[in-house]
Amino acid sequence: MKIDDLRDYLDILEEYEEAQRIGTEVDWNLEMGAITRRVYDLGAPAALFENVKGYPKGFRALGAPLGPSKHPGHGLFARTALTLGLRPSASAKEIMSTYLQRKEKLIPPISVATGPCKENILIGDDVDVLKFPIPLIHGGDGGRYIGTWHTVITKDPDSAWVNWGMYRLMVHDRNTLGCLFPMQQHIGQIYQKYEAMNRPMPVAVAIGGQPVIPLVSCVMIPPYVNEVDVAGALQGAPIPLVKCETVDLEVPASAEIVIEGEVLPHERRVEGPFGEYMGYEAGKSSPKPILKIKAITYRNDPILPFSNMGMPVHEGQTATALIKGAEIFAELKKLGLPVKGVFCPPFGVGHMAVVSTEVPFVNIARRVAHAVWATKPGLFTYYIVIVEPDVDPTNMDEVLHAITTKCHPVNGIYPVPHNPGFPVLLPFLPPKERLIGDAAGVIFDCTWPKDWPPDTIPVKATFENLWPKDLQERVLRNWQSYGFRRE
């Protein structure tokens, strides 16, 4: 089934029992967040809240849109697979491979005169972002966050590059949002240009729409690549865009809610804290840029999707980290490195990458690891595990075995100080380094040293390695006759 908007995706989730409609009245004040947190913990279906306390019928919210699945017969990444039109049992390898294959042929968007996102238009004094059922997600959050699974659209003032990125947005009041724009990310660099010119930065926030839109907005695609072109590639069709009412930007015509406005230069208000993607209430409240809303457009009976960041596994691992691994792999292949696979394990919150590679020369592990850190998608990766091709990087049992049997506890571990880190949010940093994002990295070299004589390298004690081929074939052929079930 073709996915033209969030509602098509919801139909697919329901078809595969990956969505749950909740008709009971639920409070936006923490209750929606608590239910969604439980959804992640249990791998339960995405929660469609149809009766939010204090809001009219039809104003809905969707929690855990790409959360993990524990539905029988489905894979952990089922909802990410369905986003790409794959079967819900698709493996991490298949999803990453599909992403990279489709991304090879970028498909630019098309402009349309209007779209569902224009069914209702609020401008000027009519603007009130609180008309939507925005959740207070975690106890301790600095406010209600409308931007947790969305895209923020900005245009580079020096080029034709239009950046789509996911950056959290907290509600200050009916027409003001607080923004987290790290300097290491594209939006921080773009905003810095506008601020240097003492100009407000035009911004559009698109919430809802085709699920590939938030997916591509949070995977750290290299600069000067328009994420909308990647979204089209993943859809296999161009994304229809419509002009905004008050700023010179275009937004997905299928979006449920669109916020238009400007981020003012040199103005700050206190934002945060927020229960963040790495599993902690990360970073204290601090002054951050503000977005002044000029207009809001939205569909009839709008649906507000949101992600409840916190302990894994949530969208930050089922979707973001999965595609991040694929992007790192693609960047390493461009450099001519003999890598065979890259995977960012779900509980590594995107901070760990496992890379399998051939070992053609001495110190290949350090060469590969530093190449990861040089890429845009590898920017906030702090733990890099390098394994050989006989280890499946998506299989954490095999990875753990490699670490504990092939990585020397002293000679195989290489600390790397002063790597760029995500400012404010990193729990393992002391307060001073956390403030400025002065982080570190570490390399685990789980490859056999190139200077070891071949006869000193241990042989894996596996079925494939230690029994004659003809005996292996006989055992496999006779497996059921031994009384075992077919494997």
Establish whether 358 is a catalytic residue: no
Is 467 domain-assigned? Answer: no
Number of domains composing the chain: 2
- 155 and 260: one domain? yes
- 185 and 248: one domain? yes
- 16 and 120: one domain? yes
Residue 423 belongs to domain spanning: 335-456
Q: Give, for all 487 residues of the chain, the pLDDT tens digit.
A: 689 999 999 999 999 999 999 999 999 999 999 999 999 999 999 999 999 999 999 999 999 999 999 999 999 999 999 999 999 999 999 999 999 999 999 999 999 999 999 999 999 999 999 999 999 999 989 999 999 999 999 999 999 999 999 999 999 999 999 998 888 789 999 999 999 999 999 999 999 999 999 999 988 888 899 999 999 999 999 999 999 999 999 999 999 999 999 999 999 999 988 887 776 776 678 899 999 999 999 999 999 999 988 777 778 777 888 899 999 999 999 999 999 999 999 888 889 999 999 999 999 999 999 999 999 899 889 999 999 999 999 999 999 999 999 999 999 999 999 988 877 677 888 888 877 888 899 999 999 999 899 889 888 888 888 899 999 999 999 999 998 877 6
Is 191 domain-assigned? Answer: yes
Is 413 domain-assigned? Answer: yes
- 163 and 282: one domain? yes
Pairing of strands 383-387, 352-357: parallel
- Residue 484 makes CB contacts below 8 A (sequence gap 6+) with none
Is 153 domain-assigned? Answer: yes
CATH code, 302: 2.30.110.10
Pairing of strands 162-165, 110-111: unpaired
- 215 and 148: one domain? yes
pLDDT reported for residue 312 = 77
pLDDT reported for residue 282 = 63
CATH code, 376: 3.40.1670.10
Is 164 domain-assigned? Answer: yes
- 385 and 248: one domain? no
Strands (E), 89-239: 110-111, 120-123, 145-147, 151-155, 162-165, 169-173, 176-179, 201-207
Catalytic site residue from 276, 281, 327, 331: 276
- 370 and 280: one domain? no
- 30 and 119: one domain? yes
The H-assigned helical ranges of 308-447 are 315, 322-334, 364-374, 396-406, 431-436
Which tokens go with 436?
A: 């400025």
pTM of the model: 0.88
Is 375 domain-assigned? Answer: yes
Give yes or no for a contact between 284 and 114, defined as CB atoms under 8 angstroms apart: no
Strands (E), 236-285: 240-243, 250-252, 257-271, 274-275, 281-282
Is 461 domain-assigned? Answer: no
- 38 and 127: one domain? yes
- 388 and 298: one domain? no
- 299 and 353: one domain? no
Which tokens go with 366?
A: 């350090």
Cα–Cα distance, 303 to 46 (Å, whole number): 13
Is 108 domain-assigned? Answer: yes
- 301 and 344: one domain? no
Give yes or no for a contact between 452 and 411, defined as CB atoms under 8 angstroms apart: no
**How many Cα atoms occupy the beta-carbon half-sphere of 218 within 13 Å?**
25
pLDDT reported for residue 487 = 60
Instruction: Residue 79: name the closest of 320, 299, 360 by CA.
Output: 320
